[in-house]
């Protein structure tokens, strides 16, 4: 039996029954990383020594009978989540050697649970991209076909889970960055409601949209991790002062009678027929189980990508201004004046995609253009939220494809940013409306590439999307990546 | 030079006296070793987030109340983006669209051509924001170093309408603002330490013009005197340009204190585009009426209230205003009255003696070597004849020089009057015994010798007893013989 392919629940049982030790589990993953990650390139940093030490500590806790759900479970962390004393690069040259002196709140919570961190996973630079090919360090491959991209920006996390190089991982989702790579890599990714998980220590891309969430083998494992990382945090003023429910509570409950909406715009032109069919088949399955399919419409979807890129880039242009080479991060060797030094440091430190978005964001916020771009985008944000509110009046969850296509070939889209951006059409509205959504595999195309579907829930109702995804997963013929 | 009407508006930055910074828990105290009062949040580390200090919000609202503003029940923060090495995030969290306070009104009094005048200055807004750090330029080594201790100190920016018409008005306004903020307890207003700073927007127009002229902005004036000088120079400069048929350029200028001139810093074309947008990391501030009432109740006694109280206590208006117009003096006065509740008497000694020595430069109000309690005790001693009115001034001089307790100083100098009747009678008896001739003269109806006997007693009883008591006791004694 390959223990690295197990679900978190099964590992838990084995650890608690002493059928395996935390050290053995950790070593199994480290061995596998050693063997396969040279080509897959899902990790930027593997923290083998720290992981082994954490496993020893975790075993002590297990032996003492104090184990929590995640004690001794080896996880991978996206490299834009700050880890005290461990490099956090955001896959950017500008933070190549940045070692945070503090932990993100989610890390504090996971460490308190006794997890074993295996390392930091690759991503698109500053989470800007959907392919992990804008990473300055590790351009991660898809575990199902290494000539294809793993999606992004949490491509490293999704590929590592898909290739069993960790039990589960944390990603971050600003416009689909957890769900889309989860769908490309045949795993399950959950973007929580905005405010559910503290953003403190998540290196900001677009503050009003960013949210940390789990990438795991299935919805149940996602729920287990979400249980551990959720909750109000004093350090994040936008985190919600709400009690955290048990996100596994609805798992296994009958889905009969739940109303599933399918806004027609998500199934229109631009969505590959393979993808559309797979999601529609999943809808049929739900219907057979007694769910009610509701037809509905989201007229503003056609503007969503434009609105998203304006808002996200505007916030990013401001969030990324702090990388000036003065306090930390890359500093240019040249530049006699302050402005030259900042200019050179940023020109050398940032990749093309990041520069493109900084330019776009600055433009959108410039005096004279603000109303036409940022102002309009904010109005659209309001409109999209209203349309979601309207749809949710008649349903419990919404079902959409996660991405218009399956994973595409490396470098296939990268030269055409507009095409790349348009591929986010299925995911960005969820962030704009601050909603929770999960992506899970609903089928495979003729090449065996996974197809993802997204289940979107009402605000704070992660439990229902987990319930719906789990129900489907339990009967789904999962085909693990052969790696 | 033609007659022009100056049109002046001010932007005043005041640092709030909160214990911690506005978006993190670092100490907000002035000074400290370089970069010892900063943390990942205020030094702009990746992934950190601002948490709003509710006390800072409360202080800003208090400032709003003190300046007669309306408080916005719904207020938001915005980012002001620009690169500068003292600004670690490369944006300042400020308030552009919905500031905490709007529409204030501040009455000022000032002198113009020897005439006392008063006027109301409208406040456009007061908003809350964060201060930047400080740069230290090491010319010897050719480097600039950044100190982030000041990063994130809460600031309020007070923006006036263009209601100010002269340097005198501007100075009176800044003094009034400083007074109000100090009374509200939200800012110590130490211009020399930078806790109160002022930018001046100024243009001039002909009386017949219907539109304002082109304005210049003079940045970072750090004394009341500099504000006045900068305005006077700028009026002169702009008038000269217009008189020569030239135009005033819209620009930012700096005041050179040594030369008494303003100099161009950057023109409108080089002006920053701050790319303001709503701060996504901070939720909006919402107030209920109850919240605002609670803050209003916490507002300390403001100057006009104090003036009313002093007048009710019997102080004359001139003296009362002198005291009220310096908060530290007024606090000293109130403290003294707590020890000896005779406001008029305390006021007389304070205006007559304390202010005289301050004006002579012998002592500083900020660093008095004695307490208000000691001061009050001295006034009470003089009022209750424990020390003569004249000797009280000598005792006060010693207090100014060395500090100390007035009673002990008076005692050591032999100026203390004990009114010890036992001792008085003893001395009278001695004097009478030694002057039996004079006593018989008096007994025989020679009233003139009373003066002689009185003189003898007074001499022997100096510092023990007041002449009034001696006179009474001596009369009684002589009657009984």
Alpha carbon distance, N-terminus to C-terminus of chain B: 90
Would strands B91-94 and B143-147 be described as parallel, antiparallel, or unpaired? unpaired
Element (H, E) at A380: helix A376-392
Q: Which residues of B431-446 are buried (b: 16+ CB within 10 A; e: fewer)?
A: bbeebeebbebbeeee
Q: ipTM value, please give it.
A: 0.95
Residues of B in contact with A367 (CB under 8 A): 273, 275
3-class SS of residue A372: helix
Chain A: nearest CA to B19, how far in angstroms? 18
Report pLDDT digits (tens) over B465-474.
Answer: 777 778 888 8
- Tell which phi-psi region holds residue A335, choosing left (phi > 0), alpha (psi between -120 and 50) or beta: left
> How high is the mean pLDDT of chain B?
92
Residues of A in contact with B48 (CB under 8 A): 102, 200-201
**Nearest Cβ partner for A100 among B45, B83, B275:** B45
- Top CATH class of A3-255+462-475 equals alpha beta
Would strands A292-296 and A259-263 be described as parallel, antiparallel, or unpaired? parallel
Query: For residue B114, how many other CB atoms are within 10 A of its CB?
Result: 5
Element (H, E) at A92: none
Which residues, other chains included, contact A155 with Cβ-Cβ below 8 Å and sequence gap of 6+? A42, A122, A123, A124, A131, A132, A135, A140, A149, A181, A184, A185
Q: CA A337, CA B23: separation in Å to the nearest integer? A: 30
pLDDT, residue B1, reads 52
Residues of B in contact with A315 (CB under 8 A): 277, 280
Chain B: nearest CA to A68, how far in angstroms? 28
- Tell which phi-psi region holds residue B134, choosing left (phi > 0), alpha (psi between -120 and 50) or beta: beta
Output the CA torsion sign for A413, A416, A417, A419.
negative
Q: CA A137, CA A126: separation in Å to the nearest integer? A: 12
Report CB contact under 8 Å: A201, B280.
Answer: no
For every residue of B152-164, DSSP letters joined together read T-EEEEEEE-S-B
pLDDT, residue B92, reads 98
Query: For residue A23, how many other CB atoms are within 10 A of its CB?
Result: 18
| Residues of chain A that touch chain B, judged by Cβ-Cβ distance less than 8 Å | 80-82, 88, 90, 95, 98, 100-102, 104, 199-204, 206-208, 234-238, 314-315, 317-318, 321-324, 326-328, 338-339, 342, 362, 365-367, 370, 374
What band does B109 get if pLDDT is binned at 50, 70 and 90? very high
> How high is the mean pLDDT of chain A?
97
For every residue of B2-47, DSSP letters joined together read ---EEEEEEEEEEE---SB-SSSSSB--S--STT-S--TTTTT-TT
pLDDT higher than threshold 70 for residue B145: yes
pLDDT, residue B426, reads 84
List the beta bridge partners of residue A389. Answer: none
Residues of A in contact with B46 (CB under 8 A): 82, 88, 90, 95, 98, 100, 203-204, 322-323
pLDDT higher than threshold 90 for residue B377: yes
List the beta bridge partners of residue A77. Answer: A120, A170
Name the nearest CA neighbour of A158 among A185, A134, A118: A185
Output the six-digit token pair for B101.
């306070």
Contact B103, B131 (CB under 8 A): no
Greater confidence (B433 vs A321) lies with: A321
Contact B67, A306 (CB under 8 A): no
Q: Which residues of B450-480 are buried (b: 16+ CB within 10 A; e: fewer)?
A: beebbebbbebbeebbbeebbeebbeebbee
Q: Which residue of A has its CA nearest to B92?
A: A318
For every residue of A345-363, DSSP letters joined together read HHHHHS-HHHHHHHHHHHH
What band does B19 get if pLDDT is binned at 50, 70 and 90? very high
Name the nearest CA neighbour of A44 among A81, A83, A90: A90
Q: Name which of A324, A343, A371, A379 to mutate to probe chain B: the one with the most chain B Cβ atoms within 10 A of its Cβ.
A: A324
pLDDT, residue B463, reads 66
Known catalytic residues of A are 78, 153, 177
Contact B227, B174 (CB under 8 A): yes
Name the nearest CA neighbour of B282 among B29, B46, B17, B54: B54
Report pLDDT digits (tens) over B76-89.
Answer: 999 999 999 999 99
Report CB contact under 8 Å: A234, B43.
Answer: no
Q: Is B280 on the interface with A (CB under 8 A)?
A: yes
Chain A: nearest CA to B318, how far in angstroms? 51
The phi, psi pair for B154, rounded to 5°, reads -70, 135
Query: For residue B141, how many other CB atoms are within 10 A of its CB?
Result: 8
Output the six-digit token pair for A407.
């994973």
C-alpha triplet B236, B241, B244: angle, nearest 5°? 120
Q: Name which of B22, B38, B47 to mutate to probe chain A: the one with the most chain A Cβ atoms within 10 A of its Cβ.
A: B47
The phi, psi pair for A398, rounded to 5°, reads -120, 140
**Nearest Cβ partner for A237 among B47, B52, B91:** B52
pLDDT, residue A417, reads 84
Contact B196, B30 (CB under 8 A): no
**Nearest Cβ partner for B43 among A80, A237, A327:** A327
pLDDT higher than threshold 60 for residue A342: yes
The count of residues in chain B is 481
What band does A434 get if pLDDT is binned at 50, 70 and 90? very high
Chain A: nearest CA to B83, how far in angstroms? 8
Instruction: Give the percent of chain B with pLDDT over 70.
Output: 99
What band does A475 get if pLDDT is binned at 50, 70 and 90? very high
List the beta bridge partners of residue B111. Answer: B116
pLDDT, residue B438, reads 84
Residue A80: HSE in the Cβ half-sphere, 13 Å Cα cutoff: 35
Residues 363-392 of B with CB under 8 A from A: none
Q: Is B277 on the interface with A (CB under 8 A)?
A: yes
**Span B444-461, mean pLDDT?**
83
What band does A318 get if pLDDT is binned at 50, 70 and 90? very high
**Span A381-387, mean pLDDT?**
98
Q: CA B205, CA B2: separation in Å to the nearest integer? A: 10
Which residues, other chains included, contact A269 with Cβ-Cβ below 8 Å and sequence gap of 6+? none
Q: Is B91 on the interface with A (CB under 8 A)?
A: yes
> What pTM does this model have?
0.91
3-class SS of residue B80: strand
**Nearest Cβ partner for A338 among B48, B49, B85:** B85
3-class SS of residue B63: helix
Contact A127, A173 (CB under 8 A): no
The phi, psi pair for B406, rounded to 5°, reads -60, -40
Q: Which domains does chain B have, with CATH numbers?
A: 5-286 (no CATH), 301-412 (no CATH), 421-480 (1.10.10.410)
CA distances from B237 to B214, B224, B233 (A): 13, 20, 6
* Strands (DSSP E) found in B161-314: 196-205, 216-221, 251-256, 261-267, 277-278, 285-286
Output the six-digit token pair for B166.
């002269």
Report pLDDT digits (tens) over B169-190.
Answer: 999 999 999 999 999 999 999 9
pLDDT, residue A414, reads 66
Output the six-digit token pair for B240.
């000269």
Q: Which residue of A has its CA nearest to B35?
A: A327
């Amino acid at each position: 039996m390959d223990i690295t392919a197990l679900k978190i629940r099964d590992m838990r049982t084995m650890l608690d029954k002493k059928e395996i030790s935390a050290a053995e589990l950790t070593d199994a993953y480290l061995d596998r990383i050693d063997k396969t990650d040279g080509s897959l390139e899902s990790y930027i940093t593997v923290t083998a020594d720290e992981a082994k030490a954490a496993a020893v500590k975790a075993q002590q806790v297990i032996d003492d009978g104090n184990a929590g759900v995640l004690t001794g479970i080896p996880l991978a962390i996206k490299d834009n989540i700050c880890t005290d004393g461990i490099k956090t690069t955001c896959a950017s040259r500008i933070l190549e050697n940045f070692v945070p002196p503090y932990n993100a709140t989610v890390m504090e919570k996971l460490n308190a649970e006794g997890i074993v961190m295996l390392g930091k996973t690759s991503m698109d630079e500053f989470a800007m991209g959907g392919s992990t090919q804008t990473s300055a360090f590790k351009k991660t491959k898809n575990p199902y076909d290494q000539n294809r991209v793993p999606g992004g920006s949490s491509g490293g996390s999704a590929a590592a889970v898909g290739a069993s190089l960790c039990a589960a991982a944390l990603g971050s989702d600003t416009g689909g960055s957890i769900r889309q790579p989860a769908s490309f890599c045949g795993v399950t990714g959950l973007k929580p409601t905005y405010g559910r998980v503290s953003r403190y220590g998540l290196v900001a891309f677009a503050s009003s949209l960013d949210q940390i969430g789990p990438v795991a083998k299935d919805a149940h494992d996602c729920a287990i991790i979400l249980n551990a990382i959720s909750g109000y945090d004093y350090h994040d003023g936008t985190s919600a002062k709400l009690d955290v429910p048990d996100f596994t509570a609805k798992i296994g409950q009958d889905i009969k009678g739940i109303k599933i909406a399918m806004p027609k715009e998500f199934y229109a032109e631009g969505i590959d027929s393979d993808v559309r069919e797979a999601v529609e088949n999943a809808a049929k399955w739900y219907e057979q189980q007694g769910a009610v399919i509701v037809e509905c419409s989201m007229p503003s979807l056609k503007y969503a990508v434009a609105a998203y890129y304006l808002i996200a880039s505007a916030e990013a242009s401001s969030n990324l201004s702090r990388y000036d080479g003065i306090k930390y991060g890359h500093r240019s060797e040249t530049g006699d004046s302050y402005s030259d030094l900042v200019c050179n440091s940023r020109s050398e430190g940032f990749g093309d995609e990041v520069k493109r978005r900084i330019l776009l964001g600055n433009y959108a916020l410039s005096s004279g253009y603000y109303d036409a771009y940022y102002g309009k985008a904010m109005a659209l944000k309001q409109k999209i939220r209203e349309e979601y509110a309207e749809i949710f009046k008649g349903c419990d969850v919404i079902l959409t494809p996660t991405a218009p296509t399956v994973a595409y070939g490396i470098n296939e889209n990268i030269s055409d940013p507009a095409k790349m951006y348009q591929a986010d059409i299925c995911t960005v509205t969820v962030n704009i409306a601050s909603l929770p959504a999960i992506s899970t595999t609903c089928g495979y195309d003729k090449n065996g590439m996974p197809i993802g579907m997204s289940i979107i829930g009402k605000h704070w109702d992660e439990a229902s999307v987990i319930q719906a995804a789990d129900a489907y997963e339990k009967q789904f013929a999962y085909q693990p990546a052969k790696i | 030079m033609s007659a022009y009407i100056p049109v002046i508006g001010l932007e005043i930055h005041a640092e709030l006296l909160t214990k911690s910074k506005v978006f993190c828990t670092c100490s907000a105290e002035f000074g400290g070793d370089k970069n010892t009062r900063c943390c990942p949040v205020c030094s702009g580390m990746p992934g950190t987030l601002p948490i709003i200090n509710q006390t800072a919000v409360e202080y800003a609202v208090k400032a709003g109340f003190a300046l007669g503003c309306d408080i916005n029940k719904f207020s938001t923060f915005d980012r002001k983006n620009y690169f500068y090495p003292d600004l670690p995030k490369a944006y300042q969290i400020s308030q552009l669209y919905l500031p905490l306070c709007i529409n204030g009104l501040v009455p000022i009094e000032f002198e113009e051509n020897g005439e006392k005048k008063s006027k109301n200055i409208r406040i456009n807004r007061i908003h809350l924001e964060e201060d930047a750090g400080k740069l230290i330029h090491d010319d010897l080594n050719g480097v600039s170093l950044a100190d982030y201790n000041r990063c994130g100190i809460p600031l309020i920016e007070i923006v006036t309408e263009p209601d100010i018409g002269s340097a005198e008005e501007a100075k009176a306004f800044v003094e009034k603002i400083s007074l109000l903020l100090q009374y509200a307890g939200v800012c110590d207003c130490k211009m020399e330490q930078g806790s109160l700073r002022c930018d001046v927007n100024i243009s001039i127009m002909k009386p017949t013009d219907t539109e304002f002229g082109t304005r210049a902005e003079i940045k970072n004036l750090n004394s009341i005197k500099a504000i006045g000088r900068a305005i006077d120079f700028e009026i002169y400069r702009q008038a000269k340009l217009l008189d020569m048929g030239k135009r005033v350029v819209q620009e930012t200028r700096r005041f050179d204190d040594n030369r008494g001139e303003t100099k161009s810093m950057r023109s409108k074309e080089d002006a920053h585009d701050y790319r303001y947008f709503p701060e996504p990391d901070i939720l909006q501030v919402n107030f209920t009426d109850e919240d605002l009432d609670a803050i209003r109740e916490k507002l300390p006694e403001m100057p006009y209230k104090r003036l009313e109280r002093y007048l009710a206590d019997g102080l004359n208006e001139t003296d009362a205003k002198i005291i009220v117009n310096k908060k530290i003096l007024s606090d000293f006065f109130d403290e003294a009255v707590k020890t000896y509740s005779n406001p008029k008497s305390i006021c007389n000694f304070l205006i007559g003696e304390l202010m005289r020595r301050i004006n002579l430069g012998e002592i500083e109000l900020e660093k008095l070597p004695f307490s208000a309690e000691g001061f009050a005790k001295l006034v009470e001693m003089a009022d209750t004849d424990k020390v003569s009115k004249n000797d009280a001034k000598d005792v006060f001089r010693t207090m100014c020089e060395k500090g100390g307790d007035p009673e002990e100083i008076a005692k050591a100098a032999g100026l203390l009057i004990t009114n010890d009747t036992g001792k008085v009678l003893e001395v009278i008896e001695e004097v009478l015994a030694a002057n039996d001739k004079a006593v018989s003269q008096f007994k025989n109806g020679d009233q003139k010798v009373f003066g002689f006997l009185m003189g003898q007693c007074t001499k022997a009883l100096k510092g023990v007893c007041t002449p009034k008591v001696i006179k009474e006791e001596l009369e009684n004694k002589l009657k009984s013989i």
